[in-house]
Protein backbone atom coordinates (compact mmCIF):
# COMPACT_ATOMS: atom_id res chain seq x y z
CA UNK A 1 0.00 0.00 0.00
CA UNK A 2 1.24 3.50 -0.78
CA UNK A 3 1.79 5.70 2.21
CA UNK A 4 -1.08 8.15 2.50
CA UNK A 5 0.85 11.40 2.72
CA UNK A 6 4.40 10.58 1.68
CA UNK A 7 4.41 12.15 -1.79
CA UNK A 8 2.52 15.28 -0.73
CA UNK A 9 4.99 15.95 2.04
CA UNK A 10 8.04 15.20 -0.09
CA UNK A 11 6.94 17.91 -2.51
CA UNK A 12 6.67 20.33 0.40
CA UNK A 13 10.02 19.13 1.80
CA UNK A 14 11.79 19.73 -1.50
CA UNK A 15 10.47 23.25 -1.59
CA UNK A 16 11.66 24.00 1.92
CA UNK A 17 14.53 21.98 3.34
CA UNK A 18 16.46 21.64 0.10
CA UNK A 19 15.77 25.04 -1.44
CA UNK A 20 15.07 27.36 1.48
CA UNK A 21 18.69 28.44 1.72
CA UNK A 22 18.98 29.34 -1.98
CA UNK A 23 19.32 33.03 -2.78
CA UNK A 24 19.88 35.10 -5.91
CA UNK A 25 23.58 35.24 -5.09
CA UNK A 26 25.51 33.28 -7.75
CA UNK A 27 27.96 30.47 -7.03
CA UNK A 28 31.26 29.69 -8.76
CA UNK A 29 33.38 26.69 -7.76
CA UNK A 30 36.36 26.05 -10.01
CA UNK A 31 38.74 23.15 -9.77
CA UNK A 32 41.46 21.11 -11.37
CA UNK A 33 42.01 17.37 -10.99
CA UNK A 34 45.44 16.50 -12.32
CA UNK A 35 45.45 13.13 -14.02
CA UNK A 36 42.00 13.60 -15.57
CA UNK A 37 41.07 15.27 -18.85
CA UNK A 38 38.15 15.75 -21.19
CA UNK A 39 35.70 14.15 -18.74
CA UNK A 40 32.37 15.11 -17.23
CA UNK A 41 32.38 15.93 -13.53
CA UNK A 42 29.35 16.30 -11.25
CA UNK A 43 28.61 18.46 -8.21
CA UNK A 44 26.08 16.80 -5.92
CA UNK A 45 25.01 16.96 -2.30
CA UNK A 46 24.54 14.09 0.10
CA UNK A 47 21.02 12.93 0.78
CA UNK A 48 19.83 10.94 3.78
CA UNK A 49 22.15 8.17 5.00
CA UNK A 50 24.98 8.60 2.52
CA UNK A 51 23.84 5.94 0.10
CA UNK A 52 22.18 8.54 -2.11
CA UNK A 53 23.08 11.92 -3.53
CA UNK A 54 21.33 14.58 -5.58
CA UNK A 55 23.19 16.12 -8.57
CA UNK A 56 23.15 19.93 -8.64
CA UNK A 57 25.51 20.79 -11.50
CA UNK A 58 27.64 19.21 -14.22
CA UNK A 59 30.79 20.54 -15.88
CA UNK A 60 33.17 19.44 -18.63
CA UNK A 61 36.89 19.16 -17.94
CA UNK A 62 39.40 20.57 -20.38
CA UNK A 63 42.62 18.85 -21.49
CA UNK A 64 44.31 19.67 -18.17
CA UNK A 65 41.49 18.61 -15.87
CA UNK A 66 40.14 22.13 -15.24
CA UNK A 67 36.42 22.77 -14.82
CA UNK A 68 33.93 25.27 -13.38
CA UNK A 69 30.60 24.82 -11.61
CA UNK A 70 28.59 28.05 -11.69
CA UNK A 71 25.02 29.23 -11.43
CA UNK A 72 22.89 32.31 -10.84
CA UNK A 73 21.35 31.11 -7.55
CA UNK A 74 23.28 30.13 -4.45
CA UNK A 75 23.43 26.45 -3.61
CA UNK A 76 21.76 25.06 -0.47
CA UNK A 77 24.48 24.78 2.17
CA UNK A 78 25.89 21.46 3.29
CA UNK A 79 28.41 18.76 2.42
CA UNK A 80 28.85 18.21 -1.31
CA UNK A 81 30.55 15.63 -3.49
CA UNK A 82 32.59 16.32 -6.59
CA UNK A 83 32.14 13.09 -8.56
CA UNK A 84 34.74 12.09 -11.12
CA UNK A 85 34.46 9.21 -13.63
CA UNK A 86 34.30 5.70 -12.11
CA UNK A 87 32.41 7.15 -9.10
CA UNK A 88 35.50 8.43 -7.31
CA UNK A 89 34.73 11.55 -5.35
CA UNK A 90 36.03 14.25 -3.05
CA UNK A 91 33.96 16.25 -0.58
CA UNK A 92 33.66 20.01 -0.25
CA UNK A 93 31.72 22.19 2.17
CA UNK A 94 29.36 24.69 0.61
CA UNK A 95 28.61 27.55 3.03
CA UNK A 96 27.87 31.28 2.61
CA UNK A 97 31.03 31.71 0.58
CA UNK A 98 30.30 29.96 -2.72
CA UNK A 99 33.14 31.33 -4.75
CA UNK A 100 36.34 29.32 -4.29
CA UNK A 101 38.73 27.04 -6.14
CA UNK A 102 40.80 23.94 -5.51
CA UNK A 103 43.49 21.81 -7.14
CA UNK A 104 44.11 18.13 -6.46
CA UNK A 105 45.52 15.00 -8.06
CA UNK A 106 44.11 11.56 -8.86
CA UNK A 107 47.03 10.00 -6.95
CA UNK A 108 45.36 11.14 -3.72
CA UNK A 109 42.45 13.58 -3.65
CA UNK A 110 43.01 14.34 0.04
CA UNK A 111 46.81 14.59 0.25
CA UNK A 112 47.15 16.69 -2.90
CA UNK A 113 44.22 19.00 -2.14
CA UNK A 114 44.94 22.76 -2.11
CA UNK A 115 41.98 25.09 -1.56
CA UNK A 116 41.91 28.82 -2.29
CA UNK A 117 39.24 31.26 -1.17
CA UNK A 118 37.34 29.08 1.33
CA UNK A 119 38.40 29.02 4.97
CA UNK A 120 35.92 26.20 5.66
CA UNK A 121 37.44 23.90 3.04
CA UNK A 122 41.02 24.88 3.90
CA UNK A 123 40.40 23.76 7.49
CA UNK A 124 38.36 20.75 6.36
CA UNK A 125 41.29 19.42 4.33
CA UNK A 126 43.90 20.52 6.86
CA UNK A 127 42.26 18.10 9.28
CA UNK A 128 41.95 15.28 6.76
CA UNK A 129 45.57 15.63 5.63
CA UNK A 130 46.86 15.54 9.22
CA UNK A 131 44.73 12.48 9.92
CA UNK A 132 46.00 10.82 6.72
CA UNK A 133 49.59 11.31 7.92
CA UNK A 134 48.77 9.62 11.23
CA UNK A 135 47.06 6.81 9.35
CA UNK A 136 50.18 6.26 7.24
CA UNK A 137 52.23 5.99 10.43
CA UNK A 138 49.78 3.46 11.83
CA UNK A 139 49.98 1.40 8.64
CA UNK A 140 53.79 1.38 8.76
CA UNK A 141 53.68 0.14 12.37
CA UNK A 142 51.24 -2.61 11.37
CA UNK A 143 53.63 -3.80 8.64
CA UNK A 144 56.52 -3.94 11.13
CA UNK A 145 54.31 -5.75 13.62
CA UNK A 146 53.63 -8.53 11.11
CA UNK A 147 57.28 -8.79 10.05
CA UNK A 148 58.62 -9.01 13.61
CA UNK A 149 56.11 -11.41 15.09
CA UNK A 150 57.50 -11.79 18.63
CA UNK A 151 56.01 -10.90 22.00
CA UNK A 152 58.38 -8.01 22.84
CA UNK A 153 58.03 -6.34 19.44
CA UNK A 154 54.27 -6.89 19.41
CA UNK A 155 53.91 -5.17 22.80
CA UNK A 156 56.08 -2.24 21.62
CA UNK A 157 54.12 -1.80 18.38
CA UNK A 158 50.79 -2.06 20.19
CA UNK A 159 51.93 0.72 22.52
CA UNK A 160 52.94 2.87 19.54
CA UNK A 161 49.56 2.29 17.89
CA UNK A 162 47.75 3.24 21.10
CA UNK A 163 49.81 6.44 21.28
CA UNK A 164 48.93 7.25 17.66
CA UNK A 165 45.26 6.63 18.37
CA UNK A 166 45.40 9.01 21.34
CA UNK A 167 47.25 11.54 19.22
CA UNK A 168 44.54 11.38 16.55
CA UNK A 169 41.79 11.80 19.14
CA UNK A 170 43.60 14.73 20.81
CA UNK A 171 44.09 16.34 17.40
CA UNK A 172 40.36 16.00 16.68
CA UNK A 173 39.41 17.51 20.06
CA UNK A 174 41.84 20.40 19.66
CA UNK A 175 40.75 21.01 16.06
CA UNK A 176 37.11 21.30 17.17
CA UNK A 177 38.03 23.72 19.98
CA UNK A 178 40.21 25.86 17.72
CA UNK A 179 37.57 26.08 14.98
CA UNK A 180 34.42 26.32 17.05
CA UNK A 181 31.45 27.48 14.98
CA UNK A 182 32.87 26.38 11.65
CA UNK A 183 30.87 23.69 9.87
CA UNK A 184 34.03 21.61 9.39
CA UNK A 185 34.34 21.38 13.18
CA UNK A 186 30.60 20.75 13.58
CA UNK A 187 30.83 17.77 11.22
CA UNK A 188 33.58 16.17 13.32
CA UNK A 189 31.79 16.88 16.58
CA UNK A 190 28.48 15.51 15.28
CA UNK A 191 30.04 12.29 14.02
CA UNK A 192 31.87 11.57 17.30
CA UNK A 193 30.72 8.83 19.67
CA UNK A 194 29.90 9.71 23.32
CA UNK A 195 32.84 9.33 25.68
CA UNK A 196 31.41 6.87 28.22
CA UNK A 197 33.12 6.77 31.65
CA UNK A 198 33.75 3.57 33.53
CA UNK A 199 30.49 2.05 34.69
CA UNK A 200 29.72 1.52 38.38
CA UNK A 201 29.54 -2.05 39.62
CA UNK A 202 26.23 -3.91 39.50
CA UNK A 203 24.98 -6.20 42.30
CA UNK A 204 26.94 -9.12 40.82
CA UNK A 205 30.20 -7.17 41.09
CA UNK A 206 30.53 -6.67 37.34
CA UNK A 207 30.31 -3.33 35.46
CA UNK A 208 26.68 -2.28 35.09
CA UNK A 209 25.99 -2.66 31.36
CA UNK A 210 22.54 -1.07 31.68
CA UNK A 211 24.13 2.05 33.20
CA UNK A 212 26.55 2.15 30.26
CA UNK A 213 23.71 1.92 27.73
CA UNK A 214 21.63 4.59 29.46
CA UNK A 215 24.61 6.93 29.68
CA UNK A 216 25.44 6.36 26.01
CA UNK A 217 21.88 7.10 24.92
CA UNK A 218 21.56 10.15 27.18
CA UNK A 219 24.73 11.65 25.67
CA UNK A 220 24.22 10.41 22.10
CA UNK A 221 23.40 13.87 20.75
CA UNK A 222 26.07 15.74 22.73
CA UNK A 223 27.98 17.97 20.35
CA UNK A 224 25.41 17.65 17.56
CA UNK A 225 23.80 20.95 16.64
CA UNK A 226 20.25 19.79 15.96
CA UNK A 227 19.30 23.32 14.89
CA UNK A 228 21.70 23.47 11.94
CA UNK A 229 19.79 22.56 8.77
CA UNK A 230 23.01 22.06 6.82
CA UNK A 231 23.13 18.58 8.38
CA UNK A 232 20.18 17.65 6.15
CA UNK A 233 22.65 17.76 3.27
CA UNK A 234 25.11 15.39 4.92
CA UNK A 235 24.86 11.65 5.62
CA UNK A 236 25.45 12.18 9.35
CA UNK A 237 22.03 13.23 10.63
CA UNK A 238 20.08 10.48 8.89
CA UNK A 239 22.46 7.79 10.16
CA UNK A 240 22.32 9.03 13.73
CA UNK A 241 18.56 9.56 13.59
CA UNK A 242 17.95 6.00 12.36
CA UNK A 243 20.26 4.51 14.96
CA UNK A 244 18.72 6.50 17.81
CA UNK A 245 15.18 5.49 16.88
CA UNK A 246 15.72 1.93 15.67
CA UNK A 247 18.60 0.70 17.85
CA UNK A 248 18.80 2.84 20.99
CA UNK A 249 15.05 3.03 21.58
CA UNK A 250 12.99 0.02 22.69
CA UNK A 251 10.64 -0.83 19.82
CA UNK A 252 7.45 -0.21 21.77
CA UNK A 253 5.07 2.67 21.13
CA UNK A 254 5.56 4.39 24.51
CA UNK A 255 9.36 4.39 24.25
CA UNK A 256 9.36 5.44 20.59
CA UNK A 257 6.92 8.28 21.24
CA UNK A 258 9.15 9.58 24.02
CA UNK A 259 12.20 9.58 21.71
CA UNK A 260 10.20 11.13 18.86
CA UNK A 261 8.94 14.00 21.03
CA UNK A 262 12.45 14.52 22.40
CA UNK A 263 13.87 14.99 18.89
CA UNK A 264 10.94 17.13 17.76
CA UNK A 265 11.57 19.45 20.71
CA UNK A 266 15.35 19.55 20.16
CA UNK A 267 14.98 20.43 16.46
CA UNK A 268 12.14 22.89 17.04
CA UNK A 269 14.30 26.05 16.75
CA UNK A 270 15.05 25.19 13.11
CA UNK A 271 12.04 24.69 10.86
CA UNK A 272 13.71 22.48 8.27
CA UNK A 273 15.35 20.13 10.79
CA UNK A 274 12.09 19.96 12.70
CA UNK A 275 9.94 19.20 9.67
CA UNK A 276 12.28 16.52 8.37
CA UNK A 277 12.57 14.81 11.76
CA UNK A 278 8.79 14.69 12.27
CA UNK A 279 8.24 13.52 8.69
CA UNK A 280 10.81 10.71 8.83
CA UNK A 281 9.60 9.26 12.13
CA UNK A 282 5.95 9.46 11.08
CA UNK A 283 6.51 7.82 7.70
CA UNK A 284 8.70 5.12 9.24
CA UNK A 285 5.88 4.01 11.55
CA UNK A 286 2.94 4.54 9.24
CA UNK A 287 3.33 0.91 8.19
CA UNK A 288 5.73 -0.29 10.90
CA UNK A 289 7.96 -3.32 10.52
CA UNK A 290 7.77 -4.11 14.26
CA UNK A 291 4.48 -5.39 15.66
CA UNK A 292 2.82 -3.17 18.22
CA UNK A 293 4.38 0.14 17.17
CA UNK A 294 1.40 1.49 15.21
CA UNK A 295 0.67 3.89 18.05
CA UNK A 296 3.69 5.97 17.00
CA UNK A 297 1.98 6.98 13.76
CA UNK A 298 -1.24 7.86 15.58
CA UNK A 299 0.67 10.00 18.08
CA UNK A 300 2.72 11.81 15.42
CA UNK A 301 -0.31 12.41 13.21
CA UNK A 302 -2.44 13.78 16.04
CA UNK A 303 0.27 15.86 17.73
CA UNK A 304 2.04 17.31 14.70
CA UNK A 305 -0.03 16.92 11.51
CA UNK A 306 -3.60 17.42 12.62
CA UNK A 307 -2.63 20.40 14.80
CA UNK A 308 -0.89 22.17 11.92
CA UNK A 309 2.57 22.04 13.55
CA UNK A 310 3.59 19.93 10.58
CA UNK A 311 2.04 21.64 7.56
CA UNK A 312 0.62 19.66 4.66
CA UNK A 313 -0.10 21.96 1.74
CA UNK A 314 -2.16 19.26 0.03
CA UNK A 315 -5.65 19.24 1.59
CA UNK A 316 -6.30 15.78 0.14
CA UNK A 317 -3.25 14.38 1.94
CA UNK A 318 -4.38 15.97 5.22
CA UNK A 319 -7.83 14.44 4.82
CA UNK A 320 -6.21 11.03 4.27
CA UNK A 321 -4.14 11.42 7.43
CA UNK A 322 -7.33 12.18 9.39
CA UNK A 323 -9.03 9.19 7.80
CA UNK A 324 -6.13 6.90 8.66
CA UNK A 325 -6.08 8.05 12.29
CA UNK A 326 -9.83 7.45 12.53
CA UNK A 327 -9.40 3.97 11.05
CA UNK A 328 -6.36 2.85 13.04
CA UNK A 329 -7.06 4.27 16.49
CA UNK A 330 -9.70 1.65 17.47
CA UNK A 331 -7.47 -1.11 16.03
CA UNK A 332 -4.30 -0.59 18.04
CA UNK A 333 -2.84 -3.37 20.15
CA UNK A 334 -4.64 -3.54 23.50
CA UNK A 335 -7.97 -2.37 22.06
CA UNK A 336 -11.00 -4.66 21.83
CA UNK A 337 -11.55 -5.41 18.15
CA UNK A 338 -14.92 -4.03 17.03
CA UNK A 339 -17.17 -7.09 16.36
CA UNK A 340 -17.79 -7.96 12.74
CA UNK A 341 -21.40 -8.08 11.58
CA UNK A 342 -21.20 -11.45 9.84
CA UNK A 343 -23.20 -14.69 9.73
CA UNK A 344 -22.34 -18.33 9.14
CA UNK A 345 -23.28 -20.51 6.15
CA UNK A 346 -26.79 -20.92 7.59
CA UNK A 347 -27.07 -17.14 7.95
CA UNK A 348 -26.93 -17.30 11.75
CA UNK A 349 -25.15 -14.28 13.32
CA UNK A 350 -21.67 -14.93 14.64
CA UNK A 351 -20.53 -13.16 17.78
CA UNK A 352 -17.20 -13.35 19.56
CA UNK A 353 -18.71 -14.56 22.81
CA UNK A 354 -19.98 -17.67 21.09
CA UNK A 355 -16.53 -18.68 19.86
CA UNK A 356 -14.92 -20.67 22.65
CA UNK A 357 -11.17 -20.16 22.36
CA UNK A 358 -8.36 -18.52 24.31
CA UNK A 359 -7.11 -16.94 21.09
CA UNK A 360 -9.17 -15.86 18.11
CA UNK A 361 -7.51 -15.22 14.77
CA UNK A 362 -9.57 -12.91 12.56
CA UNK A 363 -8.55 -13.78 9.00
CA UNK A 364 -9.81 -11.29 6.41
CA UNK A 365 -9.24 -12.56 2.91
CA UNK A 366 -10.28 -12.54 -0.73
CA UNK A 367 -11.25 -15.84 -2.36
CA UNK A 368 -9.32 -14.88 -5.51
CA UNK A 369 -6.20 -13.64 -3.68
CA UNK A 370 -3.16 -15.83 -4.47
CA UNK A 371 -1.46 -15.01 -1.18
CA UNK A 372 -4.65 -15.89 0.72
CA UNK A 373 -4.87 -19.25 -1.01
CA UNK A 374 -1.30 -20.04 0.08
CA UNK A 375 -1.88 -18.82 3.64
CA UNK A 376 -5.06 -20.80 4.36
CA UNK A 377 -3.39 -24.26 4.28
CA UNK A 378 -0.62 -22.97 6.59
CA UNK A 379 -3.16 -21.67 9.08
CA UNK A 380 -5.18 -24.87 8.90
CA UNK A 381 -2.07 -26.97 9.48
CA UNK A 382 -1.40 -24.97 12.65
CA UNK A 383 -4.95 -25.10 14.05
CA UNK A 384 -5.20 -28.84 13.31
CA UNK A 385 -2.24 -29.46 15.64
CA UNK A 386 -3.94 -27.76 18.61
CA UNK A 387 -5.76 -30.54 20.43
CA UNK A 388 -7.58 -28.45 23.03
CA UNK A 389 -8.82 -26.01 20.39
CA UNK A 390 -7.53 -23.04 22.36
CA UNK A 391 -7.05 -21.22 19.04
CA UNK A 392 -9.91 -20.63 16.63
CA UNK A 393 -10.10 -18.87 13.27
CA UNK A 394 -12.84 -16.47 12.24
CA UNK A 395 -12.42 -16.28 8.45
CA UNK A 396 -14.32 -13.56 6.58
CA UNK A 397 -14.11 -12.74 2.85
CA UNK A 398 -13.79 -9.02 2.15
CA UNK A 399 -13.84 -8.99 -1.64
CA UNK A 400 -16.85 -8.83 -3.92
CA UNK A 401 -17.55 -12.53 -3.87
CA UNK A 402 -20.89 -14.29 -3.90
CA UNK A 403 -22.10 -16.60 -1.09
CA UNK A 404 -21.76 -19.54 -3.49
CA UNK A 405 -18.10 -18.78 -4.26
CA UNK A 406 -17.44 -18.28 -0.55
CA UNK A 407 -18.91 -21.68 0.32
CA UNK A 408 -16.96 -23.25 -2.54
CA UNK A 409 -13.77 -21.77 -1.05
CA UNK A 410 -14.61 -23.30 2.37
CA UNK A 411 -15.09 -26.74 0.83
CA UNK A 412 -12.01 -26.45 -1.38
CA UNK A 413 -9.71 -25.82 1.59
CA UNK A 414 -11.66 -28.04 4.01
CA UNK A 415 -11.97 -25.30 6.65
CA UNK A 416 -15.46 -26.18 7.87
CA UNK A 417 -14.06 -26.41 11.43
CA UNK A 418 -13.28 -22.68 11.35
CA UNK A 419 -15.83 -20.04 12.18
CA UNK A 420 -16.63 -18.88 8.64
CA UNK A 421 -18.49 -15.59 8.43
CA UNK A 422 -20.03 -13.63 5.56
CA UNK A 423 -21.47 -10.13 5.40
CA UNK A 424 -24.75 -10.97 3.63
CA UNK A 425 -26.00 -7.38 3.93
CA UNK A 426 -22.75 -5.78 2.73
CA UNK A 427 -22.84 -3.36 5.67
CA UNK A 428 -19.14 -3.53 6.54
CA UNK A 429 -16.59 -1.14 5.05
CA UNK A 430 -13.62 -3.42 5.71
CA UNK A 431 -11.08 -0.92 4.37
CA UNK A 432 -12.04 1.83 6.82
CA UNK A 433 -13.40 -0.22 9.71
CA UNK A 434 -10.65 -2.85 9.84
CA UNK A 435 -7.76 -1.22 7.95
CA UNK A 436 -7.89 -3.79 5.16
CA UNK A 437 -5.70 -2.42 2.37
CA UNK A 438 -4.16 -5.75 1.40
CA UNK A 439 -5.29 -9.36 1.78
CA UNK A 440 -4.97 -11.35 3.82
CA UNK A 441 -5.23 -9.04 6.82
CA UNK A 442 -4.85 -10.75 10.20
CA UNK A 443 -5.74 -9.79 13.77
CA UNK A 444 -4.96 -12.02 16.76
CA UNK A 445 -7.21 -11.53 19.79
CA UNK A 446 -6.84 -12.80 23.36
CA UNK A 447 -9.60 -14.29 25.54
CA UNK A 448 -11.10 -10.82 26.20
CA UNK A 449 -10.93 -10.23 22.44
CA UNK A 450 -8.30 -7.55 22.83
CA UNK A 451 -5.89 -7.17 19.93
CA UNK A 452 -2.49 -8.71 20.65
CA UNK A 453 -1.25 -8.70 17.05
CA UNK A 454 -2.34 -6.86 13.93
CA UNK A 455 -1.05 -6.07 10.46
CA UNK A 456 1.66 -6.37 9.24
CA UNK A 457 1.73 -9.82 10.91
CA UNK A 458 1.93 -12.33 8.01
CA UNK A 459 -0.73 -15.03 8.11
CA UNK A 460 1.97 -17.68 7.81
CA UNK A 461 3.53 -16.50 11.09
CA UNK A 462 0.34 -16.54 13.18
CA UNK A 463 1.18 -19.89 14.78
CA UNK A 464 4.73 -18.83 15.68
CA UNK A 465 3.42 -15.59 17.14
CA UNK A 466 0.76 -17.26 19.32
CA UNK A 467 3.21 -19.84 20.67
CA UNK A 468 5.73 -17.08 21.42
CA UNK A 469 3.01 -14.99 23.11
CA UNK A 470 1.95 -17.98 25.23
CA UNK A 471 5.53 -18.41 26.45
CA UNK A 472 5.75 -14.71 27.25
CA UNK A 473 2.53 -14.83 29.27
CA UNK A 474 3.67 -17.97 31.10
CA UNK A 475 6.93 -16.26 32.04
CA UNK A 476 4.98 -13.31 33.49
CA UNK A 477 2.65 -15.54 35.55
CA UNK A 478 4.11 -16.48 38.96
CA UNK A 479 4.19 -20.18 39.80
CA UNK A 480 2.16 -21.65 42.69
CA UNK A 481 5.34 -21.82 44.77
CA UNK A 482 5.99 -18.14 44.17
CA UNK A 483 2.43 -17.21 45.13
CA UNK A 484 2.36 -19.18 48.37
CA UNK A 485 3.75 -17.39 51.46
CA UNK A 486 6.74 -19.00 53.09
CA UNK A 487 6.21 -20.89 56.35
CA UNK A 488 6.31 -18.68 59.42
CA UNK A 489 5.44 -15.53 57.46
What band does 478 get if pLDDT is binned at 50, 70 and 90?
low
The per-residue pLDDT for 19 is: 41
What band does 15 get if pLDDT is binned at 50, 70 and 90?
very low
Q: What percent of the chain has pLDDT over 70?
A: 91
The per-residue pLDDT for 154 is: 72
The model carries a pTM of 0.84
Nearest CA to 396 among 329, 325, 338? 338
The per-residue pLDDT for 370 is: 95
CA distance 23 to 333: 48
Q: What percent of the chain has pLDDT over 90?
A: 73
The per-residue pLDDT for 9 is: 43
As a whole number, mean pLDDT of residues 72-77 equals 95
Q: Is the pLDDT of residue 266 over 60?
A: yes
Q: Is residue 143 helix, strand or coil? A: helix
CA distance 126 to 115: 10
As a whole number, mean pLDDT of residues 221-232 equals 96
* Chain segment 298-320, per-residue pLDDT in tens: 999 999 999 999 988 788 888 99
> Which of 313 and 471 is assigned the larger pLDDT?
471
3-state DSSP of 287-348: CCCCCCCCHHHHHHHHHHHCCCCCCCCCHHHHHHHHHHHHHHHHHCCCCECCCCCEECCCCC
Average model confidence (pLDDT) across the chain = 89
The per-residue pLDDT for 487 is: 46
As a whole number, mean pLDDT of residues 461-466 equals 94
Amino acid sequence: MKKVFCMAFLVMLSATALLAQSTDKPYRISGQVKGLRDSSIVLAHWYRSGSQYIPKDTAKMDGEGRFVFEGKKALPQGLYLVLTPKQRYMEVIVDDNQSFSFVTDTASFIKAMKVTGSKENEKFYEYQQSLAALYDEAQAIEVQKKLRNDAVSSALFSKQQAELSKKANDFRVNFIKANKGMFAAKLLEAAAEPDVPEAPKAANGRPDSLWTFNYYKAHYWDGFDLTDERFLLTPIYQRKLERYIKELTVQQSDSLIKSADFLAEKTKPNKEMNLYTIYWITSEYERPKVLGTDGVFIHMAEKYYLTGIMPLTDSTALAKVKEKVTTMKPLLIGKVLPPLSVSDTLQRPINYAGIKADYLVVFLYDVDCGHCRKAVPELKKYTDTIKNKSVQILAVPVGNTSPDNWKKFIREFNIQSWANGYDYNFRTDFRHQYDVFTTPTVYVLDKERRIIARPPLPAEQVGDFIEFYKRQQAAKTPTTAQKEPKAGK
